[in-house]
Each structure stands twice: as C-alpha cells, then as structure tokens.
Amino acid sequence: MTDDTAATTLPIIAVTMGDAAGIGPEIIVRALLDPEVASACRPFVVGDAGRLRAAAALQGVDVEIRAIAAPEEAEPAAGRIDVVDLGLIPADLPWGELSPVAGDAAYRYVATAAEFATAGRVDAICTAPLNKKALHAAGHLYPGHTEMLAALCGVEEVSMLLSTPRVRVIHVTTHVGLIDAIRRIEPGLVERTIRRGLKAMQDAGIDSPRVGVCAINPHAGENGLFGYGEEAEKITPAVERVAAEGHDVHGPLPADTAFFLASRGDYDLIVAMYHDQGHGPVKVLGIEAGVNVTVGLPVIRTSVDHGTAFDIAGTGTASHESLVVAVQQAVSMSRGAAARRVA
C-alpha cells in the first residue's frame, strides 16, 4: 500500500468549531496539531478561519490555517489545519461573552457537517462545545447537539453514550424532567437503546459486549417494595428479548451496583434510564477524559464532555486533552465506515 493509498483510507473527521466566543477555537488549534490526531485521520474544521488564526495567535501557536472547499480536500500535514471556512464571525467578536451571532454560527457549522455526513462525505463528526443560551438567542431552539443532529440528519431517535476510561453509559432518556422520563420509558424504547449500545460497542471493536441495564427504582424495586412495578413493566421485557438472541445483557440492576460493577470491569456498557442516573457516575469516574457519543445517526458523532467555559475563553489556558480523546474515539469508531467509503 502506498502512502497516498494509506492516507485515503484514514477516516475523514469533521470538527465543528462550536461557539466562537468560547474555548472551542483554542482547543481545536492545539488538538488538531497533536501528532497522534494528525497521524490517525484526515481532520478538518467546519468553522471560521479568522477565528482559528486569532485563537492560535493568543496561544502563541505557529500554524497554517488553510481554507478548503470540500471534505475530500482534507489532508493531514504537520503545522497545518484545514478548515471549511463559513466566514460568519466578525473579527471583533469578544471572547467569553454571550452572542447570538456566535450561536447562529455554531448552528450553521453543525448543519454543514450534517450535510456532509448524510451525503457520505465524512466518516465522523466531532463537535466542540456550543452555548445553549446563545443557540436559543439565535432562534435555534434545540436542547443541545444530540437533538439538533438528529433533526438535521432526519433521524427520529438517537441515544447519548458517554465514554470514559472506566465506564461507558448509554441513556434511554436524556434532556427531559425526571417525571417525564419515567413516563417515556417503555419496553420498545429500552430495547432500541440496548441495541444501539450493542452496535456502538461492536463498532468500537468489542465483539461480544457485556451490558448491564439499570433499574428505575432503588434496589431495582426490591420485589415491589419500591415503586409501582416499573422494572417488570418497562425494562424486563426488553432485556429478555435481547438476551434471548444470545447477547450478554443483564438487568434490571440496582443503579448503584451496576456502576460499581462496571467500574471494576464486569460490564462494557451500562444502560441508564435517565440523565442524572448516567451522568453522575460518569462525571465522578472520568469527566476529564469523558467523550459524548451520539448513537443512531448515519455517522459517528463524538464530543467533549464539557462546555464553552466563557470564564477562561480567550486566555489560552483551556485544556485540549478532552478534544484529543474525542477525536481519537471518533477515529476508533469510524474505521469501518472509512474502509467502506474507499471500497
């Protein structure tokens, strides 16, 4: 295999710039110059070339920001970052301040990346953080990246998966209130979530993933002592259907026990029923290296598991390590897609 052939088989990763007033541009500059990132994929930014140059300058980073017209033009090169430049950010946009202009631009970066994804022109999307208030101020009323990408890709149902070195968790429900979450949980949704999690683990190279499914109530209901039979009604039928096909799936499990067992290696994936049930343990066990993965899209999507950090934006002090991990996770989960694209 020639060097040119090897390069074409590398996954093409679209990195959206996020909110330009936040730390996204700064961490992108450092992350995409990381030799491990540049050697593993063909990354490019969907964003604003001028803002990336400003982010590089304030950090004292010597880098060439090259504008490209299409994902296929992205080529890794030392000291260079490729960008599909939408030119939406004024040069005087303040760092660290809420801006509808930046909110609208963040939406358009994601929308452009979604167009590339649905056309099969990228193998994964990795998103820098956006600010929900800025997004909403610009008229884009989505709870976050997950729901926005689902709408842009024409997908009715997706799942949020959080991955850390010690535990991975996929959520049956996410950005809804607890009472609404319990109402939404039903065997079909639980089963579809388990299956999306199984596929995500297999895409990541775990051929026979071990999956633990959380209960809703303390102690998994304690045989009817807690709750109103939600486990038997909403969760058990889904677990039994998937397990009957030979998958290593167990539950409903008390959530505190499930996460303990996962942290020591007994499970590859935990299925959480609602937002805080899954997010709390993940953030305790590994937020610094946490990666947010959207499962069920026509393309892999990963993200850092932190926000725009307006308080330190523009100071050059933000850590880029989580973004490096997010890109690496996107690469790991999209190698099969890259091989199919080239074939």
Same-domain pairing of 52 and 22: yes
Q: Is the pLDDT of residue 239 over 50?
A: yes
Q: Is the pLDDT of residue 1 over 50?
A: no
Q: Is the pLDDT of residue 234 over 90?
A: yes
What is d(CA 119, CA 296) in angstroms, rounded to the nearest whole number? Answer: 16
Q: Is the pLDDT of residue 16 over 90?
A: yes
The rounded mean pLDDT for the chain is 91
Radius of gyration over every alpha carbon of the chain, rounded to an integer in angstroms: 20
Same-domain pairing of 62 and 203: no
What is d(CA 156, CA 199) in angstroms, rounded to the nearest whole number? Answer: 18
pLDDT the model gives residue 21 = 98
pLDDT the model gives residue 166 = 84
Q: Is the pLDDT of residue 85 over 90?
A: yes
Residues 6 or more apart whose Cβ sits within 8 Å of residue 328:
36, 37, 40
Q: State the pTM of this model.
A: 0.83
pLDDT tens, position by position, 275-333? 999 999 888 876 556 788 899 888 889 998 789 999 999 999 999 998 999 999 899 88
CATH classification at residue 181? 3.40.718.10
Same-domain pairing of 312 and 229: no
Residue 192 in tokens: 């579809």
Where do the H-state alpha helices sit in the chain?
3-8, 24-32, 35-40, 49-58, 100-118, 132-137, 145-152, 178-184, 187-203, 230, 236-243, 255-263, 275-286, 321-342
Cα torsion 168, 28, 312, 93: sign: negative
Structure letter (DSSP) for residue 172:
S
342 pLDDT tier (thresholds 50, 70, 90): low
Q: Is the pLDDT of residue 5 over 50?
A: no
Same-domain pairing of 122 and 242: no
Looking from the CA of 36 toward its CB, the CA atoms found within 13 Å total 11
Distances in Å between the alpha carbon of 329 and those of 11, 40, 195, 200, 204? 12, 11, 20, 11, 8
Q: Is the pLDDT of residue 3 over 80?
A: no
How far is Cα of residue 93 from the mean position of the Cα atoms in its chain? 27
Total structural domains in the chain? 2
pLDDT the model gives residue 341 = 55
Domain boundary among the residues 252, 269, 292 is at: 292
Same-domain pairing of 311 and 179: no
Q: Which of 150, 186, 144 is nearest to 307 (CA)?
A: 144
Residue 315 in tokens: 């100071």
Picking from 218-227, 308-317, 332-341, which range would have the lowest pLDDT averaged per residue?
332-341
Q: What does DSSP say about strands 269-272 and 12-16: parallel, antiparallel, or unpaired?
A: unpaired
Same-domain pairing of 9 and 131: yes
pLDDT the model gives residue 262 = 94
Please say whether the beta carbons of 24 and 89 come within 8 A: no
Same-domain pairing of 188 and 253: yes
pLDDT tens, position by position, 37-63? 988 999 999 999 999 999 999 999 999
Same-domain pairing of 137 and 197: no
Neighbours of 218 (CB within 10 A): 13
When pLDDT is averaged across residues 84-102 and rounded to a whole number, the result is 98
Torsion of CA 220, 223, 228, 229, to 10 degrees: 80
Residues 6 or more apart whose Cβ sits within 8 Å of residue 337:
11, 123, 124, 299, 300
Q: Which of 281, 280, 330, 285 is nearest to 304 (CA)?
A: 330
Parent domain of 315: 1-155+297-343
pLDDT tens, position by position, 164-216? 888 999 999 998 999 999 999 999 999 999 999 999 888 878 889 999 999 99
Helix (H, G, I), strand (E, B) or coil at 20: coil
Same-domain pairing of 108 and 124: yes
pLDDT the model gives residue 287 = 59
Same-domain pairing of 27 and 107: yes
pLDDT tens, position by position, 107-146? 999 999 999 999 999 999 999 999 999 999 999 999 888 8
**Locus of tokens 């999306």:** 196
Please say whether the beta carbons of 234 and 216 come within 8 A: yes
Same-domain pairing of 244 and 107: no
